[in-house]
Amino acid sequence: MSHQIPINVAFEDELSEEVLTKLLLNSRRYLIGRRFPGRGYGDLKKKIRGFNNAARVMPYLVLTDLDDDECAPTKIRIWLPIPKHPNLLFRVAVKEVEAWLLADRVGFAKFLGIGRNLVVYLY
């Protein structure tokens, strides 16, 4: 693609960073700028207003886990009670980013080198 959109990313941990990196690079629309690693959700929560302000200049993608909170929209409203800038992409993985990976039975089985029928979900 001839024109990529620069975007900064903020995340809780290394796994979240890898997920964001794969998603953005595979889209071929984005060029990752600065990376803001958090030390858990508390660090991101403290910085979310700053990311929102900085989004006026450059897009930001922030990823956190839902954890034990009620729901993603509620978490977003609590963390960012002020209007969200359109260039701030604030995403919440339900319940954890690990769930996103496990939801891909075929990809997860391939990664483990086992048949997909061995990846069983218990509800």
52-78 per-position pLDDT tens digit: 999 999 999 999 999 888 899 999 999
Residue 48's domain comprises 5-118
**Amino acid type, 82:** I
What are the pLDDT digits (tens) for 1-46? 468 999 999 999 998 998 899 889 888 899 999 999 988 889 999 9
- Does 40 map to a domain? yes
- Does 123 map to a domain? no
First to last CA, the chain: 41
Looking at the whole model, is its pTM more than 0.85?
no
Q: Which residues of 76-99 are buried (b: 16+ CB within 10 A; e: fewer)?
A: beebbeeebbebbbbbbbeebbee
The answer to whether the CB of 105 falls within 8 A of the CB of 116 is yes
User: Domain total for the chain?
Assistant: 1
CATH of the domain at 38: 3.40.50
- E-assigned strand segments in the chain: 5-11, 30-37, 60-65, 88-93
The answer to whether the CB of 11 falls within 8 A of the CB of 20 is yes
